Amino acid sequence: MVIYRFLSGDDDSSFCHKVTKALSEGWLLYGEPHYVFDAVAGKMRCGQAVTRDVADQAYDPDKKLTDYV
């Protein structure tokens, strides 16, 4: 099964660390990063989709995606 996550946050180093951590845990980049201007907060926001192949397991919507192995 392939699981999907969309990481998002402010356009700063903490977002880069979030993506780097996901990559170090076996997640793969999926598509291009996205950037939008949040007019209310007055700052740029960014997002990156990541996917990971996991062993044959039934999908459980109550399970955290990071708990799939």
Residue 53's nearest CA partner among 30, 20, 21, 31 is 30
Q: What is the pLDDT of residue 10?
A: 94
C-alpha span between 26 and 10 (Å, rounded): 23
- pLDDT tens-digit profile, the chain (69 residues): 999 999 999 999 999 999 999 999 999 999 999 999 999 999 999 999 999 999 888 889 999 988 887
